[in-house]
């Protein structure tokens, strides 16, 4: 079980069980949503995640919903109709992000040229 919360603290979530995967995403949409050169997701089955608080959503592309705190704007999740029973939580909103170790990089072809991580993880 791992918990998380937004910057102001009114939006919280609880997870149960283990995540399915943990990945860095370098896509331009995630960079913009997080205002960060790269982000990282922790994927769970949707029914293993419970939110509490006021959560807003934005449809960033067809079938894709990104959520964020309605008060402070902290990004919290990515959901896609292609994987409708799953939710990707932003790793950095977990209370203990160090407990999750990324397994690979995705959308690496969109990465910012000056940004890289010194690891041997697969880059897709
Ligand atoms: Zn907040
Ligand atoms: Zn992305």
Residue 93, domain extent? 2-110
Report if residue 120 sits inside a domain. Answer: no
Q: pLDDT tens for residues 57-114?
A: 999 999 999 999 999 999 999 999 999 999 999 999 999 999 999 999 999 999 999 9
Distance 65 CA to ligand 1 centre (A): 18
Report if residue 93 sits inside a domain. Answer: yes
Cα–Cα distance measured from residue 113 to residue 89, given in angstroms and rounded to the nearest whole number: 25
Q: pLDDT tens for residues 34-46?
A: 999 999 999 999 9
Bridge-based pairing of strands 104-106 and 21-25 is parallel
Report if residue 90 sits inside a domain. Answer: yes
Report if residue 119 sits inside a domain. Answer: no
Number of domains forming the structure of the chain = 1
Report if residue 23 sits inside a domain. Answer: yes
Distance 118 CA to ligand 1 centre (A): 32
Q: pLDDT tens for residues 11-30?
A: 999 999 999 999 999 999 99
Closest ligand to 32 CA?
A: 2
CATH number of the structural domain spanning residue 41: 2.170.150.70
């Amino acid at each position: 079980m791992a918990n998380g919360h937004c910057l102001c603290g009114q939006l919280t979530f609880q997870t149960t069980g283990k995540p399915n995967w943990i990945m860095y995403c370098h896509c331009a949409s995630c960079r913009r949503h997080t205002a960060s050169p790269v982000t990282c997701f922790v994927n769970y089955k949707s029914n293993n995640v419970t939110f509490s608080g006021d959560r807003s959503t934005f449809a960033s592309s067809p079938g894709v919903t990104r959520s964020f705190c309605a008060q402070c704007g902290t990004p919290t999740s990515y959901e896609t109709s292609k994987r409708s029973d799953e939710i990707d939580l932003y790793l950095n909103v977990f209370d203990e992000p160090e407990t999750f170790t990324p397994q690979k990089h995705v959308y690496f072809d969109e990465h910012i040229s000056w940004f890289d991580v010194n690891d041997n993880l697969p880059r897709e």
